[in-house]
Amino acid sequence: MLYTSLLKPLLFKMDAEKAHHLVIDGLASGSRFPGITEILNTMYGVPESPELRMEVLGLRFPHPVGLAAGLDKNGKAPDGFSSIGLGFAEVGTVTPKGQAGNELPRLFRLPPDEALINRMGFNNEGAEAMAASLAQRKIHSIPIAVNIGKNKTTPNELAHEDYQACIRILYDYGDFFVVNISSPNTQGLRDLQHGDELRKLLGAVKEEVDRQAAARQAKPKHVLVKIAPDMSDDQLEHTVSTIMESGIAGIIATNTTLSREGLTHAHAGEMGGLSGKPLRERSTEVIRAVYRQTGGQLPIIGSGGIFTAQDAYDKIRAGATLVEVYTALIYKGPELLKELTSGLKECLRKDGYRHIAEAVGADHR
């Protein structure tokens, strides 16, 4: 209740991006003081439950609810995020070179719609800066994924070099990697989701991961691809086919949407990607389609509009192995994680399942 009653009213009076930086910088700075992460864990930590514990991608997840990319763009606060009850967290999107992103203002709240619109444009300090931040990580209780992208000035025909550079620089610091080709805020990026460009990109990513693993005499780390919710059925089918053929380990469905259907707030006309509750149904539809096409053979991380345990459970039943939150965390605070995990256990009990894995793809059976 501390967040919703005290912090949220103060943060929502501030410019959205300034509030964002205040939270991330505060969490990063606070995590360096002795005892702060323990206090955070006492306040917000989620006790492990055997029925929610997952083994996915060769990694152990204390529960299936993680943080989507975009909140901690530079990997500044992994210890803080590891202490507030998350099952895993994505950092980034990071690009090889630091870049300022798009012009301000570029982040907008839509409270009546429980949504956000952003046109950030991959603003970040670059891969070397993220590596330096993640090298200071002390808490390794949850997997950390590194979400990678291309610089704005890099043409699509050379995009694969940017993704390879990110993997090369950050290989030791991510537990797995996410290829972001679906943000609507970098011109031409979504073109990489299709056809030969996608095949070339994923082949280059796989080569770099294999090269880094061989140098360390270790198994290659897993790579997932984050896809957009705005593709047609045919486009989605072809994209998923290419991902499957590439040997990529999994899919995140979905990124933000360009749709503005059903919005009521004045900010609805702002350009950028929409996240939050209005994305809930479409992202679940995409998860269902991906699971059907892949026969449940590729792990899916479901992202988009999760505000309640039922929202998360619907995505799991549609085929998601793990799920991610972002916008709901802004609106509801870290208390959300206890609410979601306890609610998921109640959903399992109602359906007669003993473990969350039994519910994955249940709608298809």
Report, as residue numbers or ranges, the catalytic residues.
183
CB distance 305 to 280 below 8 Å: yes
Rg (the chain; Cα; Å): 19
**CA gap 148, 22 in Å, rounded:** 23
Q: Where are the alpha helices (DSSP H) in the chain?
A: 2, 8-11, 16-31, 36-44, 78-81, 127-134, 159-170, 195-215, 233-246, 280-294, 309-318, 327-332, 335-351
H-helix or E-strand spanning residue 321? none
How many whole angstroms separate alpha carbon 56 and alpha carbon 321?
8
Asked whether 348 and 90 are in contact (CB, 8 A), the reply is: no
Region label for 70, one of left (φ > 0), alpha (ψ between -120 and 50) or beta (otherwise): left
CB within 8 Å of 84: residues ≥ 6 apart: 40, 41, 43, 44, 45, 334, 337
Classified as helix, coil or strand, 225 is strand
